[in-house]
A and B are shown apart, each in its own frame.
Chain A
Amino acid sequence: MSSASLSVVPIFATPLAVAELPASLQANQAVAQLLMEYAAANPVAAAASDPLCYRSRDDLLEWNDALVHQTCGEILRGVWSTVAAVNSFTPEQLKSLSMQARGSFAIVQPNGSIPATSHSLTSWCGIYCVEAPQPAAERSDSGVVRLYESRLTTMFADATNSVMRVPFTAGHYSWRAVPGQLAVFPGSLTHEIPLIRAAGRLTLISVRARFVGPGQEGWSRW
């Protein structure tokens, strides 16, 4: 084996930003209660109803409640920070962008799940954890957000390319939802909530966002 200096570079990488939102964390209990009450008062139409998972309309950013407004504001700032971190914008360029965003929430009960989805017409997706179930010893993916493998990986596997380390691992990536944490990733990335196999709910706030630069036409309103 050669001892020459070797530079290993992750190419074609997908950004995943994780941030702690301390102010939102403090409000989580109250926000969770608010969302539960809303869900109880606004049942989903029977055809789309899932008794183990409530998925709201995407009008959360238009709510007037102060706590929800504060939490969503922090989430959107987290998306802005992600955009700043992964691009080469100057502060002036960043300021010149305008964000369009939609927000919703989901409450997943034990034995509930959300099938894989991705967002069209969306550049960034943010998922904030309001409350999470305990990890389940016998089901390691309970309580995670699973981000799907998106590379055109080879169908040829041998003893060396099937066990590579992160970020080169071929396969899905799991982000364990922790109350007070926000994950931001590209909106095109397919993701799902695997079945919850522990006591406690998983309550998540999701935003999908896109940005319009000066002089760009943008899109019609969501």
Chain B
Amino acid sequence: MVSPVLKLSPMFAVPVLQTRMEGCERLNSELEALFLERESPEYRNPTPSHHPQAETFESRFNLFRWPEPCVQALRQFMLDAVGRAVIQTSTVTPEELSRLRFQNHTWFHITRYAGSFVAHNHPLASWSAVYCVRAGQAVPEHPQSGLLRFFDPRHGAQAYLDPANAQLQAPFALRPLEYRLEAGDLVIFPSYLFHEVAPFYGADVRITVASNCWFA
């Protein structure tokens, strides 16, 4: 076989960014206590976009307007990371970004045994982010418990599989991308990307904060 230089390019790629808040234990502990205290009708999202589940509490979307220091510290961390994601993945400069109006809807989820969230995306937003406050128990007999799963947007790409395309390596692999979030993990992704939370089988709670961001 002739071996010419081969340039391999990931086309139509989807940017997913991961980072982690170091030393997050105290902050997460304060957030968890606050969220559990406010897991009540007063703070529940009154207009959920999907059929609500008794096992999953979804707050109103105004979380980052709460004045509590732990919430504001998380706001700073998450939105700063989203801003960095924009700069890393686009031609927007830091100066240009600083002149944009940065808006968000942010909420928290508390998920208990058998809770999940159906595959969805977020219209009218450009970037979405999920921060893990508490991962919840790992359940060995349910390895997919609580996974954050992103669906491959290349619809139909796996319709014809043979030995030459069935085992493609990342980032070309034809399969969903799954994240097992740990407390302190932050994942940022384009809002158009469909994602779900697999059923959670822990005996405790899984707590996450999600944010949709848009700029003008």
Contact = CB atoms under 8 A, between A and B. Distances in A.
Contacts of B191: 155
User: In the complex, which of the residues B54, B121, B123, B198 has the most CB atoms of chain A within 10 Å of its own CB atom?
Assistant: B123
Contacts of A34: none
Q: Chain B, interface size: which category? A: 20 to 34
B159 interface: yes
Contact of A141 (B51, B113, B155): B51
Nearest to B115: A195
B202 interface: no
B123 A155 contact: yes
A156 B191 CA distance: 11
Nearest to B156: A188
Nearest to B123: A157
B124 A157 contact: yes
A115 B144 CA distance: 9
Contacts of A146: 118
B114 A50 contact: no
Classify the secondary structure of A's interface with B: loop
B114 A195 contact: yes
Given A115-B198, A120-B160, A155 B51 contact: no
A188 B142 contact: no
B161 to A, nearest CB: 4
A121 B118 contact: no
A118 B176 CA distance: 12
Contacts of B142: 50-52
A194 interface: yes
Contacts of A111: 113-114, 199, 201
B54 A155 contact: no
Interface in A85-139: 111, 113, 115-116, 118, 120-121, 138-139
Interface in A31-74: 49-52
Contacts of B151: 116, 190
A197 B114 contact: yes
Nearest to A152: B155
A148 to B, nearest CB: 6
B199 A195 contact: yes
Interface of B: 51, 53-54, 113-114, 116, 118-119, 121, 123-124, 141-142, 144, 149, 151, 155-156, 158-161, 176, 191-192, 196, 198-199, 201
20 contacts: A49-B141, A50-B142, A52-B142, A111-B114, A116-B196, A118-B159, A121-B159, A121-B161, A139-B53, A139-B54, A148-B119, A150-B155, A155-B121, A155-B124, A155-B191, A156-B123, A162-B123, A172-B119, A190-B151, A195-B114
- 4 tightest CB-CB pairs across the interface, nearest first? A157-B123, A120-B161, A195-B199, A188-B159
Interface of A: 49-52, 111, 113, 115-116, 118, 120-121, 138-141, 146, 148, 150, 152, 154-157, 162, 172, 187-188, 190, 194-195, 197
